[in-house]
C-alpha cells in the first residue's frame, strides 16, 4: 500500500482474511477480522471494485455492532463515506461521515475526526456547497501539520496532500485562485517529498484543475498530464474519470478537440461501467462541450440534457449550473440561434452560480449573454454584460478569455 501497489496489497490482505476461520472465535480474532477488512478497503478502492468494498464494510459493520465497539464502528462509518461519495450518494456519504465524526469526538479519536472531516468536505464539494467544504477541509489541513504531514492513516493518499488538493478544487470554483494555488502547491511539495505515487497524482490534479479554471493552460496541461500518467502507471482506474475530465477539458480549451472527445468518451464509458455516479454529470457536460466545439450540436445537446438530469438527481448543484450553461451555448450556436432558449438557460445557470458563489462560471454566463445580446441587436444589454465579464475576468486574472470578450465589446461599441 505504501508504494501504491494496490493489486499486490489486495492479494496479501485476502490471504490474511482466509486464515481467520482457522483461529479461535474470540474477541481478539473478531477485532482482527474487522481490522483486516478495514485495511483491505483502501487497497480495493483505487481498483474500483466498489461492490466488493461495500460487502466487506457491511461485514465489518455487523462484526463491530456485535462487539459493541464504538471506535471500530467509527472506522467503518468513515470508510463508507468515500464509497458513497464515488457512487454519488452524497446524503449517505454525509450521514456516514457525520456518524463517524460524532463517534470519534465522543471517544476522543482525533485522527478519526480529521479523516471524517475530509470525507464530509468531499461530499459538500461534490454538491457545490464550497463554503462548508472549505470549513471541513481546513480542519483536516490544520490537523495534518508538522510531523503528521507525511502520515497516511490507512488512506490511498496522504491526507495532508488530498485535503489540499480538494481545497484547491473548491477555491478554483469560487475564483479565489491565489489562496487555492498556495494550498495546491503545498500539497504538491509534500507529495514530491515522500515520493508517493497516488499522492503525487491527486496533488497534480488539484493544482492543475485550479490553473485550468483560471485559463492558465501553460501550467495546467503538464500537471494534468502528469496526473494521468501516474494514474495509468500505477493502475488506479477508479480515479481515471476525475483526472480524464480535467485533462479533457484542458484539451478542449486548447482546441485539441479529437484528443478531448476521445479521452472524455473513455472517461464517461468507464464511469458508467464502474457505476461511479459521482462523475457521470461531470464527464457528460465536459464531453458535450468538446462535441459542441467539434460542431456536433445534437450529440452535445444529448450529453448536456443527460448531465443536467444526472446533476439534479444527485443534487450536484454546480454541475447543474455548468450543464445549463452548455445548453445556453448550444441554443445560441444553432442556425438560426434559439435566442429565447439560450437566454433562459444562461439566466438559470447564472442564478445558480451566484447562489453558490461560483464566480468564474458567473463570468462565463455573462459572456454568453453578452454575445447573445450582440447577435440579437440588443446593444445596451450586450455592452453591460460584456463590460461586467471583462471586469470579472481581470479581477480574477482569467486572461485566457479576455481577448475574445474585449473584441466582442469593441464590435458592439463600433470601435
- Tens-place pLDDT, residues 225-253: 999 999 999 888 899 999 999 999 999 99
Give the span between the Cα atoms of 233 and 125, in whole angstroms.
Answer: 28
Burial state string for 377-411 with b = 16 or more CB within 10 A and e = fewer than 16: ebeebbbebbbbbbebbeebebeebeeebbebbee
Is residue 277 within 8 A of residue 314, CB to CB? The reply is yes
Q: Average the pLDDT over 284-297 and give the result.
A: 98
Give the span between the Cα atoms of 348 and 116, in whole angstroms.
Answer: 34
Query: Closest Cα partner for 147 from 157, 139, 158, 136?
Result: 158
- pTM for this predicted structure: 0.93
Q: Assess whether pLDDT exceeds 90 at residue 47.
A: no
Distance set, CA 154 to CA 41, 54, 327 (Å): 9, 17, 42
Confidence of residue 415 (pLDDT cuts 50, 70, 90): low
More confident site: 24 or 319 = 319
Sign of torsion over alpha carbons 55, 56, 59, 65 = negative
pLDDT at 236: 85
Q: What number of other Cβ atoms are within 10 A of residue 114's Cβ?
A: 24
The answer to which of 14-23, 144-153, 158-167, 351-360 has the lowest mean pLDDT is: 144-153
Confidence of residue 325 (pLDDT cuts 50, 70, 90): very high
Instruction: Tell me the chain's radius of gyration from C-alpha atoms.
Output: 23
Give the span between the Cα atoms of 94 and 383, in whole angstroms.
Answer: 44
Confidence of residue 1 (pLDDT cuts 50, 70, 90): confident
Confidence of residue 254 (pLDDT cuts 50, 70, 90): very high
Percentage of the chain lying above the pLDDT 90 cut: 88
* Burial group, residue 342, by CB count within 10 angstroms (0-12, 13-18, 19+): buried
Name, in order, each residue with C-beta under 8 angstroms of 304's C-beta and a sequence gap of 6 or more: 284, 285, 288, 323, 326, 327, 330
Query: Closest Cα partner for 259 from 228, 230, 231?
Result: 228
Is residue 104 within 8 A of residue 74, CB to CB? The reply is yes
Query: Closest Cα partner for 85 from 97, 73, 93, 75?
Result: 93
Q: Assess whether pLDDT exceeds 80 at residue 153.
A: no
pLDDT at 400: 97
Averaged pLDDT score across all residues of the chain: 95
Amino acid at each position: 500500500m505504501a508504494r501504491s501497489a494496490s493489486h499486490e496489497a489486495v492479494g496479501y490482505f485476502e490471504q490474511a482474511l482466509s486464515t481467520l476461520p482457522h483461529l479461535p472465535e474470540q474477541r481478539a480474532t473478531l477485532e482482527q477480522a474487522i481490522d483486516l477488512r478495514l485495511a483491505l478497503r483502501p487497497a480495493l478502492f483505487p481498483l474500483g471494485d466498489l461492490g466488493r468494498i461495500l460487502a466487506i464494510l457491511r461485514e465489518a459493520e455487523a462484526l463491530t455492532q456485535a462487539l459493541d465497539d464504538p471506535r471500530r464502528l467509527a472506522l467503518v462509518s468513515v470508510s463508507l463515506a468515500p464509497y458513497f461519495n464515488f457512487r454519488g450518494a452524497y446524503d449517505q456519504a454525509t450521514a456516514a461521515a457525520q456518524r463517524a465524526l460524532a463517534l470519534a469526538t465522543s471517544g476522543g479519536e482525533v485522527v478519526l475526526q480529521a479523516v471524517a472531516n475530509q470525507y464530509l468536505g468531499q461530499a459538500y464539494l461534490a454538491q457545490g456547497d464550497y463554503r462548508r467544504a472549505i470549513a471541513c477541509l481546513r480542519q483536516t489541513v490544520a490537523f495534518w501539520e508538522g510531523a503528521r504531514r507525511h502520515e497516511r492513516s490507512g488512506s490511498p493518499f496522504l491526507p495532508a496532500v488530498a485535503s489540499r488538493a480538494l481545497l484547491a478544487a473548491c477555491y478554483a470554483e469560487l475564483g479565489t485562485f491565489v489562496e487555492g494555488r498556495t494550498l495546491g502547491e503545498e500539497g504538491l511539495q509534500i507529495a514530491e517529498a515522500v515520493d508517493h505515487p497516488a499522492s503525487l497524482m491527486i496533488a497534480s490534479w488539484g493544482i492543475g484543475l485550479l490553473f485550468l479554471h483560471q485559463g492558465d493552460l501553460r501550467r495546467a496541461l503538464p500537471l494534468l498530464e502528469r496526473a494521468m500518467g501516474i494514474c495509468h502507471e500505477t493502475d488506479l482506474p477508479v480515479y481515471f474519470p476525475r483526472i480524464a475530465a480535467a485533462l479533457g477539458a484542458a484539451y478542449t480549451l486548447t482546441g485539441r478537440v479529437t484528443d478531448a472527445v476521445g479521452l472524455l468518451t473513455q472517461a464517461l464509458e468507464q464511469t458508467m461501467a464502474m457505476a461511479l455516479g459521482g462523475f457521470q454529470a461531470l464527464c457528460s457536460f465536459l464531453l458535450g462541450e468538446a462535441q459542441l466545439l467539434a460542431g456536433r450540436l445534437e450529440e452535445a445537446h444529448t450529453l448536456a440534457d443527460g448531465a443536467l438530469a444526472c446533476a439534479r438527481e444527485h443534487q450536484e448543484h454546480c454541475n447543474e449550473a455548468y450543464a445549463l450553461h452548455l445548453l445556453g451555448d448550444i441554443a445560441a450556436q444553432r442556425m438560426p440561434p434559439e435566442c429565447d432558449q439560450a437566454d433562459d438557460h444562461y439566466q438559470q445557470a447564472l442564478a445558480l452560480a451566484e447562489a453558490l458563489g461560483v464566480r468564474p462560471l458567473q463570468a462565463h454566463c455573462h459572456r454568453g449573454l453578452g454575445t447573445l445580446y450582440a447577435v440579437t441587436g440588443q446593444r445596451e444589454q450586450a455592452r453591460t454584460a460584456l463590460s461586467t465579464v471583462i471586469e470579472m475576468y481581470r479581477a480574477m486574472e482569467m486572461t485566457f478569455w479576455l481577448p475574445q470578450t474585449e473584441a466582442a465589446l469593441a464590435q458592439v461599441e463600433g470601435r
